Each structure stands twice: as structure tokens, then as C-alpha cells.
Amino acid sequence: MRIDIGYNTHIIIPMTNDSLRVGRALRERLREAGLSQIEVADAFGVSQSRVSRVLSGDFTGRSELAFAMCKRFEVAPVDAHVSEADLAFQAVEGALRSLWDGTAAGARRISKLIDAVRSIRPEHEAK
């Protein structure tokens, strides 16, 4: 994976053995299902090139697309040792990001909403 950090400079992040394993397993599952990259991209609402990157192992362990594809095609995800609670929290992070408008004010509004929800939670659930 190549990341542009400006001034014609790039950082190269190597693919891990685990991401390569996941990519190979997903490619095999798609082949077995007779699905093209374009069909998968349409189903997940992403570009074909993003699907291609996942299938080649060019993604991080926090890739929502790779995780969703693993779940759909029953492939053990990268960092499968991550707890179920951590995986569930990734869904919370995704939900929060979908609400956030990308501004500091928007982040403060979401924080206030979370604080309001916390304040109505019964004491025995607070911990």
C-alpha cells in the first residue's frame, strides 16, 4: 500500500501475511460463488478497485470493507484474535462516523448526545 504524504513523498506500508491470507480466501470464495469483482462492489456499494485491493491483500486490519466481506463470505478476518467486544465496537465507530458531518461542532454534538444517553442509563448498567 502506498500513502501519499505530499511533496511527491510516499510511505510504503507492506501487506501482512494475514491480509494476504484473507485476500486469497476471499478470492476463492468469490470464485466458488461465481461472483465478479464488479458484482461484489455493487453489493457493498464501493468501487471495483476497492474490492480488488482487498482481494490482493492491500488493506489494513481496520478496513470496514474487508471485515464486511469476511463476514459475508465466512472468512476469518485479519486480527481474528480481536475480542468480540472490540469487533462490536467497530460497528459503533462506523455508526458514529455515519452521523458525523466531519466538523468539530458536529463531533461536540455527538459527544453531547452520548453524554445524554449515558445520563439516562440505570446505575446497575453504568459499569
| 63 within domain boundaries | yes
CA distances from 96 to 71, 82, 89 (A): 21, 21, 10
Alpha-carbon gap, residue 95 to 3, rounded angstroms: 26
Residue 15 placed within a domain: yes
Higher pLDDT residue, 4 or 62?
Answer: 62
Is the overall model pTM greater than 0.85, yes or no? Answer: no
**Digit-coded pLDDT (tens) for 75-88:** 988 765 556 676 67
User: Side-chain half-sphere of 69: how many Cα atoms within 13 Å?
Assistant: 35
* Domain extent at residue 92: 84-125
Q: Does 7 share its domain with 61?
A: yes
Give the separation between CA 68 and CA 75, rounded to whole angstroms: 10
Mean pLDDT in the chain?
80
Residues in the chain: 127
pLDDT band at 1 (very low <50, low <70, confident <90, very high): very low
Q: Which of 34, 30, 77 is nearest to 51 (CA)?
A: 30
Taking only the tens place, the pLDDT of each residue in 81-125 is 556 676 677 778 778 888 888 899 998 999 998 888 888 877 666
Q: Are residues 19 and 39 in the same domain?
A: yes
